[in-house]
Amino acid sequence: MQRRRFLGLTAAGAATAALAPALTACGSDGAGSGTTTLKLVAADYGDSPANSSQKYWDALAREFEEQNSGIKIDVSVYSWTEVDKKVADMVEEGKAPDMAQIGAYADFAAAGKLYSADQLLSIATQADMIASIAHAGEVHRVQYGMPFVSSSRLLFCNKTLFAKAGIAKAPESWDDLQAAAAKLKGIGVPMPFGLPLGPEEAPAETMLWMLSGGSGYTDSTGSYSIDSAENVKTFNWLRDDFVGKGLTGSGDPSRTNRQEVFDAFCKGDVGMLNGHPTLMRQADAKGIKYMMAPLPGIKGTAKSAMGVADWMMAFKQNGHREQIGKFLDFVYSTKNVLTFTGQYDLLPVTTSASEAMRKDAGREKLRQFLDQMDNAEFYPADKTSWAKVSKALKEKIGSTVKSGGDPASVLSEIQRDADGWGS
């Protein structure tokens, strides 16, 4: 989801904070006179230091601390390119944070390191979670991953460039997409279509194209289908009929990150790209005129939309269950959910906040994203192997669209690894 650029701390300061164990008071946590400090490691959804998520968490922590004198909140924010690894390293070193707001939870849950949601959240908070998203946080029918924010994806098109190229409407099929990109290339657009298959968020762009081609990461039984015939066909088409024809610009998609493409779109250098709600604010700030449309498929609009949820989880290592639960109930209050999602144009994961957003005339453009959530497919984040599969995708998927790339071989290799890592 989207977002995710600059460190909230300096690199040295952040590393020091991340590796420091949580501070605890002498004696019993909760009932004694001491103070419990909860350590939270969170991802950065900002695209500059000015709107770093560190500011949100610092303000939220101050407000919570004013209402809960015995609990302090220490938050370290990292970019999405490093936050998952930061947490994994901390856990491996025996210095798990109390909470982590990152991209995957299932491997920690399978290792018995996490509290379940019902051990932490009040009944009212649990009931307010949107069920379809909350279920994606389950491992063996027990919820360990608490969705923090969600988003869906739409095709963004630069209306000014479309008009110059004589393109009347947003593409609905691969043929439309290729034809539009060729016209944009013909008028000198540097990047007719932005294809970020670099390490920042390759799994999202990959899933979008898999859905576009009629498949996905898993089949109807929930088993991995990474090397399905449809997925191989999709990446062959991308290699030969899209990247190979120069329709993604002169750069290397395997080294191109999403924020680079977002930035280029906001400069008017990109004709089309797959984007999430945060891009609207960035484009509006730069005066870019754009339209949004559902994901194009092989013969028409893709049958499934893509939904993304990022996760909050709580580690058992430091034993602060009561204090963590109190803080998370505060985090998931309607007011705080709307404050965060409103800042980054993301979608709420609670029913109360979602309903409030739909009624907000100032958020009208978000309704197109909200409407897709009923038909959205999510990452297979409930699989304990997903974190490793995601890492493999970041490292390897970009090679499939290079000249001479071998999609069938790369997808089969990732499939074999995924099967070996288990469910």
Domain boundaries, the chain: 11-150+309-370, 152-307+382-421
Give me the pLDDT at residue 97, please.
98
Spatial distance between the Cα atoms of 283 and 262, rounded to a whole number of angstroms = 8
Selected from 3.40.50.1000, 1.10.4010.10, 3.40.190.10, 3.20.20.140, the CATH number assigned to the domain covering 11-150+309-370 reads 3.40.190.10
Segment 128-136 shows an average pLDDT of: 89
Give me the pLDDT at residue 228, please.
98
Q: Do domains 11-150+309-370 and 152-307+382-421 have the same CATH topology?
A: yes
What's the length of the chain?
423
Residue 233 CB neighbour total at 10 angstroms: 16
Residue 237 CB neighbour total at 10 angstroms: 20
Whole-structure pTM over 0.85, yes or no?
no
pLDDT digits (tens, 9 = 90+) for 158-174: 999 999 999 999 999 99
Spatial distance between the Cα atoms of 209 and 238, rounded to a whole number of angstroms = 9
Sign of CA dihedral 129, 135, 137, 141: positive
Query: Top-level CATH class of 152-307+382-421?
Result: alpha beta
Report residue 386's pLDDT band, with 50, 70 and 90 as the boundaries.
confident
Give me the pLDDT at residue 166, please.
98
Q: What's the one-letter identity of residue 402? A: K
CB distance 391 to 81 below 8 Å: no
